[in-house]
Structure 1
Amino acid sequence: MASVSVQIVESNPHLRSLLGWHLQQVGYRVYQAASLYQAREVFQLRQPTLVILDAELSDGDGLEFCRWLLRQHQPYILMLSARNTEADVVAGLKAGADDYLTKPFGMQEFLARVEALIRRNRMNIPPAYLDYGDLKIDLVQRRVRFQEELIDLTPQEFSLLYVLAQAGGLPLSRSELLNRAWPDAIDNPRTIDTHVLSLRKKLETDPRQPSIIQTIRNVGYRFNPEFLNGYNAGLNNSHNNGAQEQQNQRITERGNLSQPTAASQALPITK
């Protein structure tokens, strides 16, 4: 239970505090946000397992934020709303909510629904990190290591790298990267170029000729797992070749220490 984090996005401070207290009492880590602006920042920083989302927020549409969440880490979403018509429930579920609870509600029902979503999460636990050989992306600690060296990334650089890596080698446009990796709406796609350049300086052997984050002309950028796989295979082959050379050297040395016979001179050495 200690590893499960829950984010509450609720504009009513009394209800937000009450829900948070009860969740903490049963062992969840709780992060709270009163507005969409705060909610985006908290989500990017904490990457919670479950988001409890008020559908009627003071600074925006909860349904739209629900759709935004689906483009990110894809947490489970429990939507809270005073709207209880069938059309409202259907709209919430279609926006991406995994469950819908109408206000007012009992605390025991609320906790039971939270636990049901957490059980569903345990049945489909996402990986703790992405492993590309020498490049490892820790999704829990939000850290990146390359060749066993810890790479110092800003939160935004980490989010950008994570989104690129999650695409599995598919190119993503600048607009797609802005929607998935940025906590706030930004109108300038060239912001992506600045952060990609910074990432390349920290990850690439030669940032002017990048191999890990490639530019796809007229499209955007792609993460290149094939290069990392080939790079690691090259290291393994180099290691194996070195071991073979050492073995051959030991065979030669043993042969020099013994007196060669006519038979041994006539027969070729076999491996």
Structure 2
Amino acid sequence: MSAVCIQIVEGNPHLRSLLGWHLQQVGYSVYQSASLQQAKDVYLNRKPQLVVLDSDLSDGSGLEFCRWLRQQSQPFVLILSARSTESDIVAGLRAGADDYLTKPFGMQEFLARVEALTRRSRPMVAPAILDYGDLKIDLVQRRVHLKHELIDLTPQEFSLLYVLAQAGGLPLSRSELLRKAWPDAIDNHRTVDTHVLSLRKKIEVDPRQPNLIQTVRNVGYRFNTEVAGPGLVAASNPNPNHNHRAAMHSLS
């Protein structure tokens, strides 16, 4: 994964250099600007994810530059300012800043605020494989392997298993399973029982004494993560059900 790109727009050369050095030490890619004109050129060429912006620059207001940034591709903005009154902070936030740090400040606080903002810019990565030891559920290929053997599941059986596994061991009622794992509105609870029985025959060592998909009396069913040994293997964001409505429900 490439380093997060940060632009520092700061009129004080010593502070600008110091901030840049510390950011580079923790792995960020840093570009520095001393003036608004230079800042616009750097921004348009580099498109940083975060702009650290001095509120008062020699050739204009940092708040005006912040408003200009808001018309661009929406980077995060952290304003640094010697102006510390409530009205100054409110003005900075209303100009479009995501955070406001008053000078003087500690370097650890500065780095923590940068980390918090850049963390928000990272896309959430959904798991590509649910890995439960002997049982592996491939959400991209929609395949299930048990002890390295491919298990032939119907699309509906796969969706049911996926929804149960995603619940992390919590019991789900038959109504919840119908709502989350079936593409069409169905109100027949026996449909769930029939598919659970079929699924157990394919993935349980002894379907008559199931360990993976357990019945919860007066509730419904649960996926036994204690037996399965839960874990996730992260990869690129898959669409586990290929626009199947069950995918949207199961992730809600």
TM-score, length-scaled by structure 1: 0.45
Say which structure, 1 or 2, has more relative contact order (CA 8 Å, 6+ apart): 2
TM-score, length-scaled by structure 2: 0.48
Higher helix residue share: 1
